[in-house]
Amino acid sequence: MNEKVVVITGAGSGLGASLAKKYSELGSHVCLLGRTRTNLERTAQTLVNGYSIYELDVTSKSEVDIVFQSIKENAGPIDLLINNAGLGVFDLAENIGEEAIHQMIDINLKGTIFCTQAVLPDMKERNQGKIANVISTAGIEGKVTESVYCASKFGVRGFTESLLVELKDSAVQVYAAYMGGMRTAFWDGIFSEEEIKNLMDPDDVAEIIMDNIKPRKNLNVTEVVIKNSF
Protein backbone atom coordinates (compact mmCIF):
# COMPACT_ATOMS: atom_id res chain seq x y z
CA MET A 1 0.00 0.00 0.00
CA ASN A 2 1.70 3.18 -1.23
CA GLU A 3 -0.97 5.62 -0.08
CA LYS A 4 -0.28 5.77 3.66
CA VAL A 5 -1.82 9.24 4.01
CA VAL A 6 -4.79 10.06 1.75
CA VAL A 7 -6.45 13.49 1.75
CA ILE A 8 -9.96 13.75 0.30
CA THR A 9 -11.87 17.02 -0.10
CA GLY A 10 -15.65 16.87 -0.15
CA ALA A 11 -15.41 13.71 1.96
CA GLY A 12 -18.70 14.18 3.78
CA SER A 13 -20.90 12.41 1.24
CA GLY A 14 -21.17 10.78 -2.17
CA LEU A 15 -18.02 9.81 -4.03
CA GLY A 16 -15.73 11.36 -1.41
CA ALA A 17 -17.25 9.20 1.31
CA SER A 18 -17.01 6.07 -0.86
CA LEU A 19 -13.34 6.74 -1.61
CA ALA A 20 -12.62 7.37 2.07
CA LYS A 21 -14.18 4.06 3.12
CA LYS A 22 -12.32 2.07 0.48
CA TYR A 23 -8.92 3.63 1.17
CA SER A 24 -9.46 3.07 4.89
CA GLU A 25 -10.12 -0.62 4.19
CA LEU A 26 -6.76 -0.74 2.39
CA GLY A 27 -5.00 0.56 5.50
CA SER A 28 -4.59 4.24 4.67
CA HIS A 29 -4.84 7.05 7.20
CA VAL A 30 -7.63 9.06 5.57
CA CYS A 31 -7.93 12.80 6.14
CA LEU A 32 -11.56 13.85 5.69
CA LEU A 33 -11.94 17.45 4.52
CA GLY A 34 -15.20 19.34 4.08
CA ARG A 35 -17.30 22.27 5.18
CA THR A 36 -19.74 20.39 7.45
CA ARG A 37 -18.30 18.51 10.40
CA THR A 38 -21.41 16.40 11.00
CA ASN A 39 -21.16 15.01 7.47
CA LEU A 40 -17.47 14.24 7.93
CA GLU A 41 -18.21 12.50 11.23
CA ARG A 42 -20.85 10.37 9.50
CA THR A 43 -18.25 9.29 6.93
CA ALA A 44 -15.75 8.63 9.73
CA GLN A 45 -18.13 6.12 11.29
CA THR A 46 -17.69 3.89 8.21
CA LEU A 47 -13.88 3.83 8.42
CA VAL A 48 -11.91 0.90 9.82
CA ASN A 49 -8.51 2.55 10.13
CA GLY A 50 -7.06 5.77 11.51
CA TYR A 51 -8.51 9.02 10.23
CA SER A 52 -8.49 12.77 10.78
CA ILE A 53 -11.29 15.30 10.33
CA TYR A 54 -10.65 18.85 9.15
CA GLU A 55 -13.37 21.41 8.55
CA LEU A 56 -12.22 23.38 5.53
CA ASP A 57 -13.48 25.93 3.04
CA VAL A 58 -11.35 25.13 -0.02
CA THR A 59 -12.03 28.59 -1.45
CA SER A 60 -9.82 30.15 1.25
CA LYS A 61 -6.14 29.74 0.41
CA SER A 62 -5.11 30.72 3.95
CA GLU A 63 -7.39 28.03 5.44
CA VAL A 64 -6.11 25.46 2.96
CA ASP A 65 -2.49 26.22 3.82
CA ILE A 66 -3.15 25.95 7.57
CA VAL A 67 -5.05 22.66 7.28
CA PHE A 68 -2.53 21.00 4.97
CA GLN A 69 0.35 22.04 7.21
CA SER A 70 -1.51 20.53 10.15
CA ILE A 71 -2.01 17.28 8.22
CA LYS A 72 1.70 17.02 7.45
CA GLU A 73 2.62 17.68 11.09
CA ASN A 74 0.12 15.24 12.57
CA ALA A 75 -0.35 12.48 9.97
CA GLY A 76 2.84 12.75 7.93
CA PRO A 77 3.63 13.47 4.27
CA ILE A 78 0.62 13.35 1.97
CA ASP A 79 0.83 10.45 -0.49
CA LEU A 80 -2.44 11.04 -2.33
CA LEU A 81 -4.60 14.15 -2.68
CA ILE A 82 -8.07 13.65 -4.14
CA ASN A 83 -9.63 16.96 -5.17
CA ASN A 84 -13.28 15.96 -5.00
CA ALA A 85 -15.08 19.00 -3.52
CA GLY A 86 -17.55 20.44 -5.99
CA LEU A 87 -20.74 22.44 -6.43
CA GLY A 88 -23.21 22.68 -9.29
CA VAL A 89 -25.99 25.22 -9.85
CA PHE A 90 -27.88 24.56 -13.07
CA ASP A 91 -30.02 26.91 -15.16
CA LEU A 92 -29.93 28.66 -18.51
CA ALA A 93 -26.79 30.78 -18.82
CA GLU A 94 -28.61 34.10 -18.51
CA ASN A 95 -30.39 33.02 -15.32
CA ILE A 96 -27.44 31.92 -13.21
CA GLY A 97 -26.95 34.37 -10.34
CA GLU A 98 -23.71 36.12 -9.48
CA GLU A 99 -23.29 34.31 -6.16
CA ALA A 100 -23.75 30.92 -7.80
CA ILE A 101 -21.14 31.84 -10.42
CA HIS A 102 -18.63 32.83 -7.75
CA GLN A 103 -19.30 29.64 -5.76
CA MET A 104 -18.78 27.28 -8.70
CA ILE A 105 -15.60 28.98 -9.89
CA ASP A 106 -14.26 29.32 -6.33
CA ILE A 107 -15.01 25.77 -5.12
CA ASN A 108 -14.57 23.74 -8.30
CA LEU A 109 -11.60 25.54 -9.83
CA LYS A 110 -9.86 27.69 -7.23
CA GLY A 111 -10.33 25.07 -4.52
CA THR A 112 -8.62 22.45 -6.69
CA ILE A 113 -5.76 24.85 -7.43
CA PHE A 114 -5.27 25.90 -3.78
CA CYS A 115 -5.23 22.32 -2.46
CA THR A 116 -2.87 21.20 -5.21
CA GLN A 117 -0.51 24.09 -4.46
CA ALA A 118 -0.48 22.98 -0.82
CA VAL A 119 0.91 19.52 -1.66
CA LEU A 120 3.08 20.14 -4.71
CA PRO A 121 6.27 21.49 -3.08
CA ASP A 122 6.57 18.52 -0.71
CA MET A 123 5.67 15.96 -3.37
CA LYS A 124 8.23 17.43 -5.76
CA GLU A 125 10.89 17.49 -3.06
CA ARG A 126 10.20 13.84 -2.17
CA ASN A 127 9.75 13.01 -5.87
CA GLN A 128 6.67 10.97 -5.10
CA GLY A 129 2.97 11.41 -4.56
CA LYS A 130 -0.29 11.46 -6.50
CA ILE A 131 -2.89 14.11 -7.23
CA ALA A 132 -6.29 12.92 -8.47
CA ASN A 133 -8.77 15.50 -9.74
CA VAL A 134 -12.44 14.49 -9.87
CA ILE A 135 -13.57 16.60 -12.79
CA SER A 136 -16.84 15.26 -14.30
CA THR A 137 -17.79 14.85 -17.94
CA ALA A 138 -18.76 18.54 -17.70
CA GLY A 139 -15.03 19.11 -18.17
CA ILE A 140 -14.98 17.56 -21.64
CA GLU A 141 -18.31 18.59 -23.19
CA GLY A 142 -20.75 21.49 -22.95
CA LYS A 143 -24.17 20.74 -21.49
CA VAL A 144 -27.55 22.48 -21.44
CA THR A 145 -28.14 24.47 -18.21
CA GLU A 146 -24.56 23.70 -17.07
CA SER A 147 -22.66 26.54 -18.76
CA VAL A 148 -20.87 27.91 -15.68
CA TYR A 149 -20.44 24.47 -14.11
CA CYS A 150 -18.81 23.33 -17.37
CA ALA A 151 -16.67 26.47 -17.44
CA SER A 152 -15.34 25.66 -13.96
CA LYS A 153 -14.70 22.02 -14.87
CA PHE A 154 -13.04 22.90 -18.19
CA GLY A 155 -10.78 25.09 -16.08
CA VAL A 156 -9.87 22.15 -13.85
CA ARG A 157 -9.18 20.10 -16.97
CA GLY A 158 -6.78 22.76 -18.26
CA PHE A 159 -5.08 22.98 -14.87
CA THR A 160 -4.72 19.19 -14.71
CA GLU A 161 -3.33 18.84 -18.22
CA SER A 162 -0.82 21.61 -17.53
CA LEU A 163 0.28 19.84 -14.33
CA LEU A 164 0.95 16.70 -16.35
CA VAL A 165 3.32 18.67 -18.57
CA GLU A 166 5.00 20.43 -15.64
CA LEU A 167 5.59 17.16 -13.81
CA LYS A 168 6.51 14.93 -16.76
CA ASP A 169 10.13 14.62 -15.59
CA SER A 170 9.20 13.80 -12.00
CA ALA A 171 7.68 10.76 -10.29
CA VAL A 172 4.71 12.79 -9.05
CA GLN A 173 1.58 11.48 -10.78
CA VAL A 174 -1.49 13.43 -11.84
CA TYR A 175 -4.79 11.78 -12.66
CA ALA A 176 -8.16 13.03 -13.91
CA ALA A 177 -11.53 11.32 -13.54
CA TYR A 178 -14.27 12.49 -15.89
CA MET A 179 -17.47 10.84 -14.71
CA GLY A 180 -21.16 11.31 -15.32
CA GLY A 181 -23.91 11.71 -12.74
CA MET A 182 -23.89 9.50 -9.67
CA ARG A 183 -26.61 8.48 -7.23
CA THR A 184 -25.74 11.12 -4.61
CA ALA A 185 -27.26 14.11 -2.84
CA PHE A 186 -25.58 16.34 -5.46
CA TRP A 187 -28.66 15.89 -7.66
CA ASP A 188 -31.32 16.45 -4.98
CA GLY A 189 -33.75 19.08 -6.22
CA ILE A 190 -32.31 18.86 -9.75
CA PHE A 191 -33.34 15.38 -10.88
CA SER A 192 -36.46 13.44 -9.91
CA GLU A 193 -36.13 10.40 -7.63
CA GLU A 194 -36.67 8.16 -10.66
CA GLU A 195 -33.85 9.88 -12.58
CA ILE A 196 -31.48 9.70 -9.62
CA LYS A 197 -32.26 6.00 -9.16
CA ASN A 198 -30.83 5.26 -12.61
CA LEU A 199 -27.52 7.07 -12.08
CA MET A 200 -24.19 5.36 -11.35
CA ASP A 201 -23.37 4.03 -7.88
CA PRO A 202 -20.57 6.12 -6.28
CA ASP A 203 -19.02 2.92 -4.88
CA ASP A 204 -18.59 1.63 -8.44
CA VAL A 205 -17.03 4.90 -9.57
CA ALA A 206 -14.71 4.91 -6.55
CA GLU A 207 -13.49 1.42 -7.42
CA ILE A 208 -12.75 2.42 -11.02
CA ILE A 209 -10.84 5.53 -9.92
CA MET A 210 -8.78 3.60 -7.38
CA ASP A 211 -8.03 0.81 -9.84
CA ASN A 212 -6.69 3.33 -12.34
CA ILE A 213 -4.63 5.25 -9.77
CA LYS A 214 -2.80 2.23 -8.37
CA PRO A 215 0.79 1.80 -9.57
CA ARG A 216 1.54 -0.59 -12.40
CA LYS A 217 4.89 -1.44 -13.95
CA ASN A 218 5.65 0.51 -17.14
CA LEU A 219 2.16 1.98 -17.19
CA ASN A 220 0.60 5.27 -16.08
CA VAL A 221 -3.08 6.12 -16.49
CA THR A 222 -3.57 9.89 -16.65
CA GLU A 223 -7.34 10.01 -17.14
CA VAL A 224 -10.47 7.91 -17.32
CA VAL A 225 -14.00 8.70 -18.57
CA ILE A 226 -16.85 7.01 -16.71
CA LYS A 227 -20.35 7.47 -18.16
CA ASN A 228 -23.82 6.27 -17.35
CA SER A 229 -24.98 3.41 -19.59
CA PHE A 230 -28.13 5.18 -20.79
Give me the helices (H) in 10-168, please: 14-25, 37-44, 61-74, 98-104, 111-126, 147-166
Q: What range does the domain containing 14 cover? A: 5-222
Q: What is the CATH number of the domain that holds 87?
A: 3.40.50.720
Has residue 183 got a pLDDT over 80?
no
Q: Is residue 229 one of the residues assigned to a domain?
A: no
As a whole number, mean pLDDT of residues 152-167 equals: 98
Q: Is residue 227 one of the residues assigned to a domain?
A: no
Catalytic site residue from 23, 149, 175, 178:
149
Q: Is residue 228 one of the residues assigned to a domain?
A: no
Has residue 20 got a pLDDT over 90?
yes
Question: Poorest-confidence range of 44-53, 158-167, 207-216?
Answer: 207-216
% of the chain at pLDDT higher than 90: 81
What is the helix, strand, coil percentage profile of the chain, to 5?
45, 20, 35
Domain count, the chain: 1
CA distance 225 to 155: 17
Active site residue 149: yes
Instruction: Tell me the average pLDDT of the chain.
Output: 92
Quick: pLDDT tens for 80-124.
999 999 999 999 999 999 999 999 999 999 999 999 999 999 999
Q: Is residue 55 one of the residues assigned to a domain?
A: yes
Identify the sign of the CA torsion 98, 103, 108, 111.
positive
CA distance 181 to 162: 26
Q: Is residue 230 one of the residues assigned to a domain?
A: no
- Band (pLDDT 50/70/90 cuts) for residue 220 is confident
Q: Is residue 126 one of the residues assigned to a domain?
A: yes
Which residues, other chains included, contact 100 with Cβ-Cβ below 8 Å and sequence gap of 6+? 89, 148
